Amino acid sequence: MDTVRIGIIGLGNMGTSHASYLFQNKIEGAIIGAFLEERSGRVAELQRHFDGIPLFTDEDAFFHSGLFDAVLIATPHYSHPRLAQKAFAEGYHVLCEKPAGVFTSEVREMNEAAAKSGLVFSLMYNQRTKPIYQTLRKLIHDGELGSIRRMNWIITNWYRSQSYYDSSNWRATWAGEGGGVLINQCPHQLDLWGWLLQMEPKRLRGFCSFGKYRDIEVEDDVTAYLEYETGATGVFITTTAEAPGTNRLEVTGTKGKVVIENDELTFWQLETEEPAFNQSYKGGFGAPNSQLIPIEVKEDATDHEGITQNFVNAIRTGEPLIAPGEEGIYGLTLSNAMQLSTWIDDWVSFPLDESLYEKELSKRIQQSQGKNHATETTLDVSGSH
119-162 per-position pLDDT tens digit: 999 999 999 999 999 999 999 999 999 999 999 999 999 999 99
The answer on 157 and 228 residing in a single domain is yes
The answer on 160 and 266 residing in a single domain is yes
Cβ neighbours for 276, distance < 8 A, ≥ 6 positions apart? none
Cβ neighbours for 175, distance < 8 A, ≥ 6 positions apart? 365, 368, 370
pLDDT at 375: 56
Choose the weakest-confidence range: 125-139, 288-302, 359-373. Answer: 359-373
The answer on 192 and 265 residing in a single domain is yes
The answer on 93 and 54 residing in a single domain is yes
The answer on 103 and 52 residing in a single domain is yes
pLDDT at 371 exceeding the cut of 90: no
The answer on 314 and 239 residing in a single domain is no
In a domain, 380, yes or no: no
The answer on 136 and 55 residing in a single domain is no
Choose the weakest-confidence range: 60-74, 91-105, 184-198, 297-311. Answer: 297-311
The answer on 180 and 31 residing in a single domain is no
In a domain, 109, yes or no: yes
Supply the mean pLDDT for the chain: 94
In a domain, 374, yes or no: no
pLDDT at 383 exceeding the cut of 60: no
In a domain, 379, yes or no: no
- CATH number of the domain within which 120 lies: 3.40.50.720
Nearest to 1 by CA among 34, 31, 35: 31
Q: How far is Cα 318 from Cα 305, in angstroms, rounded to an integer? A: 18
H or E element in which residue 365 lies:
helix 354-367
- CATH number of the domain within which 289 lies: 3.30.360.10
The answer on 123 and 80 residing in a single domain is yes
pLDDT at 376: 53
In a domain, 385, yes or no: no
Instruction: Report whether 352 contacts 333 (CB < 8 A).
Output: yes
Percentage of the chain surpassing pLDDT 90?
Answer: 91
- Does the CA dihedral 219-188-161-164 come out positive or negative? negative
Q: How sure is the predictor about 370, in pLDDT bands with cuts at 50, 70 and 90?
A: confident
The residue range of the domain holding 39 is 4-127+302-324
In a domain, 381, yes or no: no
In this prediction, residues 24-39 reach a mean pLDDT of 97
pLDDT at 226: 98
Buried b (16+ CB within 10 A) or exposed e, 287-317: ebeeeeeeeebeeebeebbbbbbbbbbbbbe
The answer on 307 and 255 residing in a single domain is no
pLDDT at 379 exceeding the cut of 50: no
Q: How sure is the predictor about 177, in pLDDT bands with cuts at 50, 70 and 90?
A: very high
In a domain, 377, yes or no: no
In this prediction, residues 329-338 reach a mean pLDDT of 98
**pLDDT tens-digit series, residues 260-277:** 999 999 999 999 999 999
pLDDT at 381: 46
Q: How far is Cα 167 from Cα 29, in angstroms, rounded to an integer? A: 34
pLDDT at 235: 98
The answer on 47 and 166 residing in a single domain is no
**pLDDT tens-digit series, residues 35-93:** 999 988 889 999 999 999 999 999 999 999 999 999 999 999 999 999 999 999 999 99
Q: How far is Cα 197 from Cα 237, in angstroms, rounded to an integer? A: 17
If DSSP states are collapsed to H, E and C, what string results for 107-134? Answer: HHHHHHHHHHHCCCEEECCHHHHCHHHH
In this prediction, residues 181-186 reach a mean pLDDT of 95
The answer on 38 and 61 residing in a single domain is yes
| Tally of domains within the chain | 2
Q: What is the pTM of this model?
A: 0.92
In a domain, 352, yes or no: yes
